[in-house]
Amino acid sequence: MLEIKNLKKYFKIQNPFQTHKNILCAVDGVSLKVLHGETLGLVGESGCGKTTLGKSILRLIEPSSGEIFFEGTNILNISERELKKIRVQMQMIFQNPYASLNPRIRIGEAIGEILEIHKLCENKMIYEKVVHLLEIVGLQKEDYYKYPHEFSGGQRQRICIARAIASTPKFIVADEPVSSLDVLIQAQIIKLLFELQEKFNLSYLFISHDLRIVEQICNRVAVMYLGKIIEEGINLSQTALHPYTKALISAVPKGVPGARLNRIRLQGDPPSPFDFPKGCRFHPRCYIKNEICTNSEPSLREIEPCHYVSCHLIQ
């Protein structure tokens, strides 16, 4: 379905106290694949580049370099017209359902404009199609004429999902779709995403900082640290090898009252994305590092089938 190769996104930031521009490396050479009907989880701390990666894949922001193949077509090498056609098949669900809806537009119109813009059905059919989409996501026909403020957070996320599936896409980037919702609503939205995946054979890139959620719903998980993928595999809570992934997993609550949390506490904050340390980017916080880690940067290697790790000390 989707393959990205060595994708980079750098931002030039002007500091008012300096004459030169600083380069912020948000995404720094990421390669990933998402298969048909699969959910790939992408986890990492805030600021590691997850959202920038998701937006770059959809070309909502232009990548600095790399390749993005969607069903075999490199979407970085196509015209605006061709891109518009492919965009119909690639959609995004944003993190904040409050901010992603225009408060002055009735939700029926907000969903219908997707059909109108992409000319996906005749104008006289838009109402019926939108009502059908509302029902698919668990809302009602009467909701068509309501404004976003008349809905709860979970319902607004359902509206955003209806907008995302309006063009019957094949691939959706879901950027922290449940992080602003309470636990019960989170479960309902995740169930809805699962149902839609089965119904429409959707592929998801599911971005989250919550490894607990990602492990439950994703076929594979990629862990991102400072713009790079440092581990990728199946069932990482049992098989993790990279010290950073292990630290993330150790921080997940066990869900059993009184259960002992053998937490690995990382020292310090992640280094500045303007100025990465030499060698392994994780070395200032790594609890097993040795000399080689400060001199040379490890590459992502396949340690066992379908399990990739970027660490000098993991063989």
CB 150 within 8 A of CB 136: no
Least Cβ distance, residue 25 to ligand SF4 (angstroms) = 17
Give me 7's structure tokens: 């994708």
In the complex, least distance from residue 228 CB atom to ligand SF4, rounded to whole angstroms: 11
Distance CA 81, CA 118 (A): 12
206 is a contact residue toward ligand SF4 (CB under 6 A)? no
Longest dimension (CA), the chain: 69
The one among 298, 300, 307, 308 contacting ligand SF4 by CB under 6 A: 298
Nearer to ligand SF4, 218 or 293 (CB): 293
d(CA 61, CA 81): 17
Indicate the residue among 74 and 296 with the shorter CB distance to ligand SF4: 296
Quick note: the x/- pattern for ligand SF4 over 9-48, rule CB under 6 A, is ----------------------------------------
With beta carbons less than 8 A apart as the criterion, state whether 277 and 293 touch: no
Touching ligand SF4, residues 265-294 (CB under 6 A): 280, 282-283, 286, 288-289, 293
Site string for ligand SF4, 222-261 (x = CB under 6 A): ---------------------x------------------
- Work out how close the CB of 231 gets to ligand SF4 at its nearest, in angstroms, rounded to a whole number: 10
Q: Rounded distance, CA 86 to CA 90, Å?
A: 7
Task: State in angstroms the smallest separation of the CB of 226 from ligand SF4.
Answer: 11
CA distance 59 to 233: 26
Per-position DSSP letters for 166-197, written without gaps between them = TT--SEEEEESTTTTS-HHHHHHHHHHHHHHH
Angle subtended by helix axes 153-165 and 107-117, to nearest 10? 20
User: Nearest approach, Cβ of 233 to ligand SF4 (angstroms)?
Assistant: 15
The residue ranges that bind ligand SF4 (CB under 6 A) are: 243, 280, 282-283, 286, 288-289, 293, 298, 311-313
